[in-house]
Amino acid sequence: MTVPTPPAPDDVSAGLPATGHVLSPDGLDLLELALTGGAPWLPPAGVPAGPVTLTDAENTPLAVTGTGTGDAAAPLPRAVRPFARAAGPHWDPRLRRAARDVRADLETGADAPAVAVVVSEPPTRSEVDALGGLVGDAGPVLLMVPSARRSPAAGHVGAPGLVRIAQDLADRLGADGGRRATVVVVPWPAEAPDGLGWPEVGARYGAARTEVLADHRSPAARRRVGRLDTLWADEVAALYPEPAAGELARAARTARRRGAVVFFTGLSGSGKSTVARALAAELDDEGLHTTLLDGDEVRHHLSKGLGFDRESRELNVERIGYVASLVSSHGGVAVAAPIAPFASGRARVRELAQQAGLFLLVHVSTPLEVCEARDRKGLYAKARRGEIPEFTGISSPYEAPTDADVVIDTSQVDVSDAVARVRAALAQRLDG
């Protein structure tokens, strides 16, 4: 079928520095925090000096260094494109607001200075009981939730859970004397660099004073939290004789749930990466050990050096399928989102995955004209000009799957609904 060529979108790469640097998830958190006014720009290690185009793992230009206004640490980069958003409460735009906007709101009509309370881990009863006294007679209260793009360590509560906890604390403060409490999500790298501290960040969000709630945990609660990891083992040792206790511990260590591979395929710009990231975040939040294998990020590491001819693309997809099947074989969930344009490559991935566990093929069927119109990287414009050979959908074919388990058109369905559809299909398979 011949698709009319839509007007080419602006080529976002035009006029940008040729030197590029792909930011890690921590680097993206630092950049977002700086660009929204929450902290000075603290360039991650490895960013070259001079004008540099900063991109995410999908090679989407986000900002340019060396051209912005001054700051205490380094010149602030100039924003080029908005950050890609995912799903979940920590991505709610009503909560993930720019520091300058939050500060402006607090400065309007506040009869007393604001205090910020950082909710960096689930509070025990002792911190919840101490919260009222901690904020004292302050004016507005900001409950600041650090949100890292990197998944939390196994067994730790991530940003979605912390947001739900903070919203409950806001309700408690509102009920207790009618304090005005607002939850704010703050981009925060999993490994914060030197020079990034909560007091300065809180001040930039408009707080006269900033407290980290976990710092006010009682000594007794701290000791009990420290024992949580060993409570089960202690009880098993007390209840069972040594041989039986050892066997129970061994069985617990080797317990393994059924794994799965959720494999997205679709054109560049179809929305598959956005839905895949949102799905992985939700599954991770529910305790399913989830690994995201996004197409562009894999190209930087697992398939570095491969070209874009058919043989190289097939090899790239097979490598993704192999790694995904390993994750599944160990009881995890692998979420992969390459273009995977050829039926033969997808069939090989299905074969590998079904040997290890469950397999779910998701076709993100967003039409070519929509993908081209929303192009964030300017790739379609380059392909139309002949600058990118063998570009899927333009000069290289895309073989639409006929065996997809779920079909989604992101021009008709939003991210949350798309994730819900995939989750329903996955749950049906896992329950079956």
382 is annotated as contributing to ligand binding: no
Is residue 295 a contact partner of residue 339, using CB atoms and an 8 Å limit? yes
Neighbours of 351 (CB within 10 A): 12
270 is annotated as contributing to ligand binding: yes
- First-last CA distance in the chain: 39
* Strands of the 358-364 sheet, one edge to the other: 290-294, 333-337, 260-266, 358-364, 406-408
268 is annotated as contributing to ligand binding: yes
329 is annotated as contributing to ligand binding: no
151 is annotated as contributing to ligand binding: no
302 is annotated as contributing to ligand binding: no
DSSP character string of 211-257: EEGGGG--HHHHHHHHTHHHHHHHHHHHHS-HHHHHHHHHHHHH--P
> Which residue type is seen at 373?
A
Q: How many helices (H) and strands (E) does the chain have?
A: 15, 13
Strands (E), 148-206: 181-187
Helices 219-226 and 125-135 sit at what angle, rounded to 10 degrees? Answer: 150
Give the 3-state secondary structure of residue 261. strand
273 is annotated as contributing to ligand binding: yes
158 is annotated as contributing to ligand binding: no
> Which residue type is seen at 46?
G
Q: What angle do CA 187, 191, 197 make, to 5 degrees?
A: 65
Nearest-angstrom CA–CA distance, 325 and 355: 8
State which H helix or E strand residue 288 sits in: none
Cite the annotated binding site by residue number.
266-273
Binding residues for ATP: 266-273
